[in-house]
Amino acid sequence: MRIASTGLGKTELRAVIFDLQPKGNCIGLHATTDYPDGCKGWHLETYLEPQDILPVVLGFLRPGILWLIIKSFVFPLKNPKEPEKL
């Protein structure tokens, strides 16, 4: 997962998701950063509130997104094309 924030300036973080579970009325997503070196090991937490869940699920069901998800499982890319900057 790639993360960019105006609070980080031009720094872009890369993180690995290690947990996704319900927490109260929310869905908690937990990740640990692995890049860049100065930010390795940061623990990131994001919580989807109830009003966020439907738009996210509907977004994943859009034909173009759903097709990309299916292709990523069936034909994993060794060198995927990534956006240069988030």
Tokens 């947990």 belong to residue: 19
Q: How far is CA 79 from the centre of its chain?
A: 18
Residue 70 lies in a domain: yes
Residue 40 lies in a domain: yes
The identity of residue 67, as a single letter, is W
pLDDT at 9: 83
- Confidence band of 10 (pLDDT split at 50, 70, 90): confident
Residue 44 lies in a domain: yes
Task: Write out pLDDT tens, residues 15-62.
Answer: 999 999 999 999 999 999 998 888 899 999 999 999 999 999 999 999
Residue 83 lies in a domain: no
Q: Decide: 2 and 82 in contact? Cβ < 8 Å.
A: yes
pLDDT at 76: 79
Task: Please name the residue ranges forming H helices in 1-86.
Answer: 50-60, 63-74
Q: Domain total for the chain?
A: 1
- Tell me which residue range forms the domain holding 49: 2-74
Please count the residues of the chain. Answer: 86
Residue 60 lies in a domain: yes
